[in-house]
Structure 1
């Protein structure tokens, strides 16, 4: 267990160092700007690494849940655990997140720490991290678009659509299949299964919020379209609004 602890500590130092670097690079921006850049880097990096570990290097998470941890799985989980510890501490210090996000981070830290201590079930936990983080770059993109005044554009709509589609299909759809394989297999320990259920329940809490957001945005888009149609106003062309005479 000493080796994983050392890897987690080194990972934490690396993420803190990257955060400090971004703070120095973007000194005119707020601290959250730099933190979200770190989150974006972690999201892209961990999706690539966990995707390779889970779906190429193996073992296949839907077939071999509860299998012993491989060295590569352990390294990826240690890298991600260091980030979650950093982000959890940052969120608590700056008080930027609510109970649901803090619960998600807490479950992630406890889940990764548990499978590292048990030395098994890294296969399915790695797949859960992949599913959780695959939507993260789009979530951060939405925030950066808002901060730069580019959210209410076609690019903002595309980012929202991709985020919603990925969340529904991967975290809810594929996540349900992974949870079924986890619960139906006799190999994983009961505490690991309980952790999987808890993580999936948190995903559904997020899903309810996303569904409400998608409904409100759709209604707003529809009302805007109806208003433009009623007034005979068409979108801007070459910088000038065209009206029907």
Structure 2
């Protein structure tokens, strides 16, 4: 390990420790864990920022594989290594020492240290750093809210679901991919082992998150499943609305589209590449399937009671863009990425409406579906969306495809605004309802 990297790591450990003591002084009534989580939140934000800034090629963010690390990548790794060492020590003084968290820290420390010693595999390590830290602020927010007196509130539930959704999406969708490219590339054995170990810890935590539901929620979900599959499934939904049946079709399409888009990726080391290149047969097929669905859905929605102008614009933009891609036989990589990010949140969108029609409006389960959709939509369309739009605009693509990429991102931004208002309204409404119930009980 180079001297300046060693100095950065040591200085980092001192800095994180100092920050913790400052929080303890500034917040004397707060617990040891509370102050440590504040430090962790600062690190998570800084780590994601440094990881993003150190990416050498945004067209292929996890590349070049098994290559020499750049100075900015080394710096980002050193900062996070210093934090992990601090946090590993700090957690031993807490009341509850978590074995799985300790293993996670040790695996991460060994992996990052190996990357700094070998000066290699930084692209993979930076991707892993971003993936592991992107959900951390929501993890800490859950516990901070509990100590601040917001346990068992809608705000805490929103933090729980946001964390669960983002963690699952980051670690169980992108995590295995990053592990795979790390293991299959020409990386040192210790880095491969640590990548696999980190993914195993993530899988274990995903299992624990999945168990966060209460027994009543599980029973409720079972009843809904029974109602959909057995009661209505046998009768082909004769009592369900036009919109309900159309949303079932849309859910099938969303699942199929994500699968086809994933299968059509030519190079998982650079999923959005090559840019502005000739489309492969599998990409053309995926586009054709989704184009056919969008045409069907555009027509179908005109017969529904509520015709949404923004949804119509979204469909028209997507249809024109996909049709142009099929005509030009170009931009398959960009379109597959756009198809993936636009459809990944769709099942949760439709689940919200299914629950309402099935009589579960204004329930915790419906709120969970709302927040899951909001979190995944925001993460996919407002984090990866601008990146894919930027790649499409800056590459040598036909003007009409560039225009449609920009149009799709503008529609996504508008929907993001509507979603933010929806979540805010729902949380406010539920809080007011609970306050009214409490007031009636007191009176």
Q: Using a 3 Å threshold, how does the CA distance of structure 1 residues 150 and 4 change in structure 2: closer, same or farther?
A: same
Match runs of 1:121-200 below 5 Å: 121-185=121-185, 187-200=186-199
* Aligned Cα root-mean-square deviation (Å): 2.8
Q: CA deviation at 1:48?
A: 1.7
> Which residue is equivalent to 2:205?
206
Q: Using a 3 Å threshold, how does the CA distance of structure 1 residues 53 and 4 change in structure 2: closer, same or farther?
A: same
When Rg is computed on C-alpha atoms for both structures, the one with the higher figure is 2
- In 2, the alpha carbon distance for the partners of 1:58 and 1:108 equals 24
> Which residue is equivalent to 1:74?
74
1:11–1:83 CA contact under 8 A, matched in 2: yes
1:111–1:195 CA contact under 8 A, matched in 2: yes
- In 1, the alpha carbon distance for the partners of 2:4 and 2:157 equals 45
After superposition, what is the alpha-carbon deviation per residue over 1:42-91, rounded to whole angstroms, capped at 9, x for unaligned? 1111112212323x666945342211110000111111111111110011
2:135–2:166 CA contact under 8 A, matched in 1: yes
User: TM-score w.r.t. structure 1 length?
Assistant: 0.86
Where do 5+ consecutive residues of structure 1 fail to align? 230-234
> Which residue is equivalent to 2:103?
103
Match runs of 1:53-68 below 5 Å: 53-54=54-55, 60-68=60-68
1:73–1:126 CA contact under 8 A, matched in 2: yes
> Which residue is equivalent to 1:6?
7
Q: Using a 3 Å threshold, how does the CA distance of structure 1 residues 212 and 14 change in structure 2: closer, same or farther?
A: same
Does residue 24 of the first structure (1) align with residue 25 of the second (2)?
yes
- In 1, the alpha carbon distance for the partners of 2:148 and 2:157 equals 15
After superposition, what is the alpha-carbon deviation per residue over 1:151-191, rounded to whole angstroms, capped at 9, x for unaligned? 32222222122111111111111011112222232x21222
Q: What is the aligned length?
A: 234
> Which residue is equivalent to 2:251?
none
Task: Give the structure, 1 or 2, with the largest relative contact order (CA under 8 Å, sep 6 or more).
Answer: 1
Match runs of 1:41-56 below 5 Å: 41-54=42-55
Where do 5+ consecutive residues of structure 2 fail to align? 224-358, 364-429
After superposition, what is the alpha-carbon deviation per residue over 1:106-130, rounded to whole angstroms, capped at 9, x for unaligned? 1111111111000101111111111
> Which residue is equivalent to 2:85?
85
Q: CA deviation at 1:214?
A: 3.4
Q: CA deviation at 1:25?
A: 0.3
User: TM-score w.r.t. structure 2 length?
Assistant: 0.49
- In 1, the alpha carbon distance for the partners of 2:215 and 2:129 equals 29
**Which one is further off, 146-155 or 64-73?**
146-155
